Amino acid sequence: MDKMPKWADIALIPFLNLLIAFVLSGLVIFAIGENPFKALMTMIDGAFGSTYGWGYTLYYTTNFIFTGLAVSIAFKAAMFNIGGEGQAMIGGLGVGIACLFIPAVLMPHWTIALVFAMIAGAIFGAGWALIPAYLQAKRGSHVVITTIMFNFIATALMGYLLIGPLKLKSAQESASASFPDVTNLPTLHEVLAPLGISFSKSAPANVSLFIALAMCVVVYLLMNRSRLGYEIRAFGESPTASVYAGISPTKIIIIAMMLSGAISGLMAINATMGQHERLILNAVEGAGFIGIAVALMGRNHPFGVLLAALLFGFLYQGGSELSLWSKIPRELIVVIQGLVILFTGALDNMVRMPVERMFIAAAKRKDA
Amino acid sequence: MVGAKTEGQQATVAPAIELRGISKAFGPVQANKDISISVQPGTIHGIIGENGAGKSTLMSILYGFYKADEGQIFIHGKETQIPDSQAAIRAGIGMVFQHFKLVENFSVLENVILGVEDGAMLRPSLAKARKSLKALADEYELHVDPEALIENLGVGSQQRVEILKALYREADILILDEPTGVLTPAEADHLFRILNGLRDQGKTIILITHKLREIMEITNTVSVMRRGEMTATVKTKDTNPEELAELMVGRKVLLRVDKVPAQPGEKVLDIKDLHMVDDHGVERLKGINLNVRAGEILGIAGVSGNGQSELMEVLGGYASATGEIRVNGDPIDLTGKYSDGRSRRERGIAHVPEDRQEHGLIMNFPAWQNVAFGYHHSEEYQKNALLMDNKKMVEIAQDKMDRFDVRPPLPGLAAKNFSGGNQQKIVVAREIERNPDLLLVGQPTRGVDIGAIEFIHKQIIGLRDQGKAVLLVSVELEEILSLSDRIAVMFDGHIMGEHLPDQTDERELGLLMAGVTGEGDR
């Protein structure tokens, strides 16, 4: 055995990473004079203790599944798409335009509205990724730099549209008019009620969750079973070998980035269409960046992304409950999230290498 | 041990290097197993063995790249710990790597002092180095222009810079890893003169190679490694190439290739006035005219870097060019949409690339995904319009791996976990089994062990005997001479001449490879 067993790679290591992050967070909480165990209980209770908590946790999870999947696809093609935030914003613009401007006769039911919104969100998100992708493929401008810049451009563009052309004239804030009722997506409360399960009415989780789960399966099949996925992975592993095999780098860079942008853009069906039901500034709330951590922690595997998204959903929801019910300031929640990202993403090897050595040593002892 | 004159002192002179019971394992792989070796000062000691025999690991331990699990190192009789390469340098060990570690756009002097500058200002260090380089050059025939930029030097000179670097750091034990791989025969001879000079001055040299000829020519003693163990250490004058080859492989080896005379048919490949300019604007191919017929192997000899790689890249579909290439009589696209690797494969061109790790394989992909690589569009790998048939891909890979004796025959194992020879077998199996009209083969046996070399050569000849055309590029003259039905020599982007293998020899080809013409070639 030259490496550790698979279960250790996908379960034990992330668990240890998390444990260290939580222990350190606990120490920080202890240092400011609060009880870390009570804090943890508050977070768990806030995120999972009620259907209301679940509703928010799953809402955030849905966002992170989309952005996490988006980052992971680009990762597989060896590209670091930092632009999930902007792509999701512009995806929201697409969703908003579809909801506001497609005539009611074409959208008799929310399911049809959802299809339109998904198409528009995906196209807008993909379009926003296309320019950095083109610049990378044809001009060699690094995609990390250009996607970061495109986040700022997206923010500025949304700002302009929401105080200008798309602004609801009668309102004070920078937001569009509310979407027509037919485009409002059923919440989990409405979905689960016929099954006799009562779910909080005020929680934002909605049917987009199921789209997100389906996306995990679609991305898995795309990456591991389709020819395109094979080519994307081959390119990501070795661009030189891909050229030998007749795979066009330009094509793969552009397609992978557009897929990534499209899935980021789909996030808007959850946030913009499902929750806010109108266009607002900052509907994305940093989910594009969290997606990077989610993809890292999920090892770029769709089901890993799903689990990591759930974890971050918990941190988001549990964190806001914590700041509500304790003296722990809001900023400390960000510290905890930062520690989790640090240990699961950036410092992964710190845990991985000793554990790997341990397994190899153990295997050797057994052989001897 | 060197000769009569030191025989008497042998007991009093401590060995320059003595290794006792060195073992090193990488996971389950025992790379070095209880290796003991003793090298007398002022000798050239050869270490020979197949790829993966553990030569490089042993030298990496000596140079501080790896830490041995067990064992001791003695330098001049004193036990020495070598935790890193700095410690190795302090102990007087210098290493010349197979792939040079030079800064391309620095001058020779700047490279020599890199890492051993005397202070914050460069000028005094450079002046000192200039003086000592001149002394070294006079002493050992190591002439290089100190002000020249590395990128403007030939490989032979670059290698001399590496040796100078080691000597400037006052190394008295010099390790050379496969030093002649990139050299012409003449350059190799020059290197051997330098090494002989160094030995006469009392330096100790360890030469790692897989070329038996070099061992016989220059070493005093030779150690043979096989599967991580030191199988024998003998005086060179008491042995012969056949015995060494047998010690290396563990069985009798055929050093010659058996084949029947070629039966050339129609022209399969016809190249006319092919020019190619690389990304830096340098013209790499300067009007190539060549043809390969069905049922023959055309070998292209030459020192690497003279356009052979570029020719293969153009033919394989990953570099554009101008001129004309016809395959089976019809021209192929050289610049446009149909000049990629996929179009080439569709025209019946298969390609075993020179660098299997860089081009031929995806090292992190399992074998079964590599077996489909480049042919992943083909009908048999598709399940339906959307998905590929992974199960079928594994089956096909398993079948090919069994028939090509890939060890271990596990389709799920990542390519990087196979030895060089088995990696090459995967590539050869993939390309030959496509039944191509034209097979391009670059350095088919580079980094491949002797056992696998035999097998791969047989496969190439088998394809020729089926009436296919084979274009072979190799820097190993021996390989070119034994496989080819015709030999063309490439130098500086030109074809210098064509010869029949039984009417030429290494000397004549060597001159052509160095760009010398006019010896009655047609």
Per-domain boundaries in chain A: 57-310
pLDDT of B358 above 50:
yes
Top residue of B26, B67, B309, B318 to mutate, by most chain A CBs within 10 Å, is B318
- Whether the CB of B100 is below 8 Å from some CB of chain A: the reply is no
> What does the pLDDT average to over B160-168?
90
- Contact check, Cβ <8 Å, A246/B360: no
Strands lying side by side in the sheet with B173-177: B93-96, B173-177, B204-209, B44-49, B221-226, B229-235
pLDDT confidence tier of residue B505, bands split at 50, 70 and 90: confident
- Whether the CB of B23 is below 8 Å from some CB of chain A: the reply is no
CA distance B451 to B245: 10
Task: Give A4-54 pLDDT, tens digit per residue.
Answer: 777 887 778 888 888 999 999 999 999 988 899 999 999 999 999 999 999
- Contact check, Cβ <8 Å, B29/A245: no
CA distance A241 to A218: 27
To the nearest 10°, report the CA torsion of A195, A196, A201, A203.
-60
Place of tokens 């057994």: A366
Which member of B341, B361, B365 has the closest CB to residue A246?
Answer: B341
Task: Give A48-75 pLDDT, tens digit per residue.
Answer: 999 999 999 999 999 999 999 999 999 9
Q: What is the ipTM of this complex?
A: 0.86
Highest mean pLDDT among B11-15, B164-168, B180-184, B185-189: B164-168
Q: Which residues of A touch B359 (CB under 8 A)?
A: 240-241, 243-244
Amino acid identity of residue A363, one-letter, is A
- Whether the CB of A238 is below 8 Å from some CB of chain B: the reply is yes
pLDDT recorded at residue B213: 81
CA distance B173 to B175: 7
Which member of B344, B345, B360 has the closest CB to residue A241?
Answer: B360
> What does the pLDDT average to over A225-230?
96
Which member of B344, B373, B386 has the closest CB to residue A226?
Answer: B386
pLDDT of B139 above 60:
yes
Report residue B522 CA to chain centroid gap.
31
Q: Which residues of A touch B358 (CB under 8 A)?
A: 238, 240-241
- Fold of the domain built from segment(s) A57-310: ABC transporter involved in vitamin B12 uptake, BtuC (1.10.3470)
The shortest C-alpha distance from B310 to chain A (Å) reads 13
Amino acid identity of residue A76, one-letter, is K
Vertex B404 angle, CA B402 and B405, to 5°: 65
Q: Which residue of B has its CA nearest to A222?
A: B387
Bridge-based pairing of strands B221-226 and B44-49 is: parallel
pLDDT recorded at residue B254: 57
Q: Which residues of A touch B377 (CB under 8 A)?
A: 227
pLDDT recorded at residue B255: 58
Neighbours of A279 (CB within 10 A): 28
State the DSSP string of B451-495.
HHHHHHHHHHHHHHHTT-EEEEE-S-HHHHHHH-SEEEEEETTEE
Task: Give B261-310 pLDDT, tens digit per residue.
Answer: 888 999 999 999 999 998 878 889 999 999 999 999 999 998 777 899 99
Highest mean pLDDT among A126-130, A283-287, B84-88, B226-230: A126-130
The residue length of chain B stands at 522
The shortest C-alpha distance from A306 to chain B (Å) reads 23
- Whether the CB of A359 is below 8 Å from some CB of chain B: the reply is no
pLDDT recorded at residue A152: 97
Q: Which residue of B has its CA nearest to A356?
A: B27
Structure tokens at B391: 């199960």
Q: With b meaning 16 or more CB within 10 Å and e meaning fewer, what string describes A41-57?
A: ebbeebbeeebbbbbbb
Place of tokens 């793969």: A252
The shortest C-alpha distance from B60 to chain A (Å) reads 20
Task: Give B82-115 pLDDT, tens digit per residue.
Answer: 988 889 999 999 999 877 889 989 999 999 988 8
- Contact check, Cβ <8 Å, B377/A1: no
Domains within chain B, CATH numbers bracketed: 1-92+173-182+190-252 (3.40.50.300), 96-171 (no CATH), 267-360+437-513 (3.40.50.300)
Expressed in angstroms, the distance from the first to the final Cα of chain A is 13
- Residue B116: how many CA atoms within 13 Å on its side-chain side? 16
The shortest C-alpha distance from A237 to chain B (Å) reads 7
- Contact check, Cβ <8 Å, B374/A244: yes
Q: With b meaning 16 or more CB within 10 Å and e meaning fewer, what string describes A64-84?
A: bbbbbbbbbbbbbbbbebbbb
Expressed in angstroms, the distance from the first to the final Cα of chain B is 50
pLDDT confidence tier of residue B383, bands split at 50, 70 and 90: very high
Place of tokens 């096989």: B226
CA distance B394 to B439: 25
pLDDT recorded at residue B256: 65
- The residues facing B95 across adjacent strands are B175
Highest mean pLDDT among A205-219, A296-310, B132-146: A205-219
- Whether the CB of B387 is below 8 Å from some CB of chain A: the reply is yes
**Which residues 176-195 on chain B approach chain A with CB closer than 8 angstroms?**
none
Amino acid identity of residue B389, one-letter, is D
Q: Which residue of A has its CA nearest to B373?
A: A245
Q: Which residues of A touch B340 (CB under 8 A)?
A: 243, 246, 248
Q: Which residues of B touch A364 (CB under 8 A)?
A: 25, 28
> What does the pLDDT average to over A282-309?
91
Top residue of B352, B382, B386, B394 to mutate, by most chain A CBs within 10 Å, is B386
Q: Which residues of B touch A367 (CB under 8 A)?
A: 28
pLDDT recorded at residue B1: 40
Mean pLDDT of chain B: 87
pLDDT recorded at residue B451: 75
pLDDT confidence tier of residue B5, bands split at 50, 70 and 90: very low
pLDDT recorded at residue B187: 83
- Contact check, Cβ <8 Å, A231/B376: yes
Task: Give B397-408 pLDDT, tens digit per residue.
Answer: 999 999 998 988
pLDDT of B437 above 70:
yes
Task: Give A77-92 pLDDT, tens digit per residue.
Answer: 999 999 999 999 999 9
pLDDT recorded at residue B182: 72
Task: Give B184-205 pLDDT, tens digit per residue.
Answer: 778 888 899 999 999 998 999 9
pLDDT confidence tier of residue B4, bands split at 50, 70 and 90: very low
Which member of A221, A227, A241 has the closest CB to residue B359?
Answer: A241
Structure tokens at B134: 């001149």
CA distance B234 to B466: 44
Task: Give B330-339 pLDDT, tens digit per residue.
Answer: 999 998 888 9
Vertex B164 angle, CA B158 and B168, to 5°: 150
pLDDT confidence tier of residue B12, bands split at 50, 70 and 90: low
**DSSP type of residue B102:** -
- Contact check, Cβ <8 Å, A227/B362: no
The shortest C-alpha distance from B33 to chain A (Å) reads 15
Top residue of B69, B338, B344, B365 to mutate, by most chain A CBs within 10 Å, is B365
- Residue A6 CB burial class (10 angstroms; 0-12, 13-18, ≥19): exposed
- Alpha helices, DSSP H only, in chain A? 6-7, 13-31, 36-48, 51-76, 84-101, 110-134, 143-163, 188-192, 208-225, 227-237, 239-244, 249-268, 287-297, 302-325, 330-341, 348-367
- Whether the CB of B72 is below 8 Å from some CB of chain A: the reply is no
Neighbours of A33 (CB within 10 A): 8
* Consecutive H or E run containing B232: strand B229-235
pLDDT recorded at residue A205: 94
